[in-house]
Chain A
Amino acid sequence: MGIFDIMGPVMVGPSSSHTAGAARIGYLTRKLLGEKPVRAELLLHGSFAATGRGHGTDRALVAGLLGMKPDDERIPFSFELAEKESLSVKVGTVVLRNVHPNTVLLRVQGAGGRKLEVEASSLGGGRIKICRLDGIETNFSGDCPTLVVHNMDQPGHVAEVTGLLARYKVNIATMQLYRDVRGGYAVMVLECDQPIPAAPLESLSKTEGILKITYLNVDGAE
Chain B
Amino acid sequence: MAFSSVAGLLNTAKAKNLPLWETILEDDRQGRGTSRESSLKQMAALWGAMKSASKNYSPGARSASGLVGGDGAKMQAFAKSGASIGGPFFDRVAAEALRMGESNACMKRIVAAPTAGSCGVLPAVLIPLAERDGIGDEAVVRALFVAAGFGQVIAARASISGAEDGCQAEIGAASAMAAAALVSLKKGAPEMCANACAMALMNLLGLVCDPVAGLVEIPCVKRNVVGAANAVGCADMALAGIGSRIPPDEVIDAMRSVGDMLPCALRETGQGGLAATPSGIAAAGKLRK
A9 to B111, CA, bound (A): 6
**Among residues 2 to 22 in chain B, which have CB atoms less than 8 Å away from a CB atom of chain A?**
2
Interface string of B254-266 (1 = CB under 8 A from A): 0000000000000
A113 contacts the other chain (Cβ, under 8 Å)? no
Measured CB to CB, the closest approach of chain B to A58, in angstroms, equals: 11
A126 to B49, CA, bound (A): 17
A7-B144, A7-B147, A7-B151 given; A12·B28 CB < 8 A: no
A183 contacts the other chain (Cβ, under 8 Å)? no
Is the CB–CB distance between A13 and B113 below 8 Å?
no
Q: Who on chain B is nearest to A6 by CB? A: B151
Is the CB–CB distance between B215 and A55 below 8 Å?
yes
A73 to B103, CA, bound (A): 12
B152 contacts the other chain (Cβ, under 8 Å)? yes
- In the bound complex, residues from chain B placing their C-beta under 8 Å from that of A5 are 155
Is the CB–CB distance between A11 and B112 below 8 Å?
yes
A125 contacts the other chain (Cβ, under 8 Å)? yes
Measured CB to CB, the closest approach of chain A to B25, in angstroms, equals: 8
A2-B2, A14-B63, A54-B214 given; A19·B152 CB < 8 A: no
Measured CB to CB, the closest approach of chain B to A177, in angstroms, equals: 26
Question: How many residue pairs bridge A and B at CB < 8 Å?
Answer: 128
A15 contacts the other chain (Cβ, under 8 Å)? yes
A67 to B103, CA, bound (A): 23
Measured CB to CB, the closest approach of chain B to A164, in angstroms, equals: 22
Is the CB–CB distance between A7 and B113 below 8 Å?
yes
Which of B39-47, B90-98, B191-199 makes up part of the contact surface? B39-47
Is the CB–CB distance between A14 and B107 below 8 Å?
yes
Is the CB–CB distance between A193 and B33 below 8 Å?
yes
**Among residues 269 to 289 in chain B, which have CB atoms less than 8 Å away from a CB atom of chain A?**
270, 287
**Among residues 1 to 44 in chain A, which have CB atoms less than 8 Å away from a CB atom of chain B?**
1-17, 19-20
- In the bound complex, residues from chain A placing their C-beta under 8 Å from that of B156 are 1
A2-B32, A54-B64, A54-B213 given; A15·B117 CB < 8 A: yes
Which of A45-53, A150-158, A184-192, A205-213 makes up part of the contact surface? A45-53
Is the CB–CB distance between B109 and A10 below 8 Å?
yes
Is the CB–CB distance between B115 and A125 below 8 Å?
yes
A184 to B65, CA, bound (A): 49
A59 to B119, CA, bound (A): 21
B57 contacts the other chain (Cβ, under 8 Å)? no
Is the CB–CB distance between A3 and B151 below 8 Å?
yes
A53 to B107, CA, bound (A): 12
B149 contacts the other chain (Cβ, under 8 Å)? yes
* Pick from B103, B106, B155, B216: contact of A1, CB under 8 Å: B155
* Pick from B28, B32, B116: contact of A13, CB under 8 Å: B116
Is the CB–CB distance between A55 and B155 below 8 Å?
no
A19 to B119, CA, bound (A): 14
Is the CB–CB distance between A13 and B110 below 8 Å?
yes
A195 contacts the other chain (Cβ, under 8 Å)? no
Is the CB–CB distance between B160 and A125 below 8 Å?
yes
* Pick from B43, B111, B148, B161: contact of A124, CB under 8 Å: B161
- In the bound complex, residues from chain A placing their C-beta under 8 Å from that of B147 are 7
Measured CB to CB, the closest approach of chain A to B55, in angstroms, equals: 13
A139 to B161, CA, bound (A): 21
A75 contacts the other chain (Cβ, under 8 Å)? yes
Is the CB–CB distance between B160 and A8 below 8 Å?
no
A3 to B147, CA, bound (A): 9
* Pick from B64, B163, B217: contact of A56, CB under 8 Å: B64
Q: Who on chain A is nearest to B48 by CB? A: A10
A53 to B105, CA, bound (A): 13
A55-B64, A125-B160 given; A14·B217 CB < 8 A: yes
Is the CB–CB distance between A125 and B112 below 8 Å?
yes
- In the bound complex, residues from chain A placing their C-beta under 8 Å from that of B87 are none
Give chain A's interface residues, CB within 8 Å of chain B: 1-17, 19-20, 47, 50-51, 53-56, 59, 71, 73, 75-76, 124-126, 193
**What are 30 inter-chain pairs, A to B, with CB distance below 8 A?**
A1-B2, A1-B155, A2-B2, A2-B152, A4-B42, A6-B155, A6-B177, A7-B114, A7-B147, A8-B46, A8-B111, A9-B112, A10-B46, A10-B49, A10-B110, A11-B109, A11-B110, A11-B112, A12-B108, A12-B110, A13-B105, A14-B63, A15-B116, A20-B116, A54-B64, A54-B65, A124-B163, A125-B161, A126-B112, A193-B33
Known: A14-B217, A125-B112. 6 other contacts (CB 8 A): A1-B2, A3-B145, A11-B109, A59-B107, A125-B161, A193-B33
- The 5 A-B residue pairs whose C-beta atoms are closest, nearest first, are A13-B104, A3-B148, A51-B214, A6-B151, A14-B216
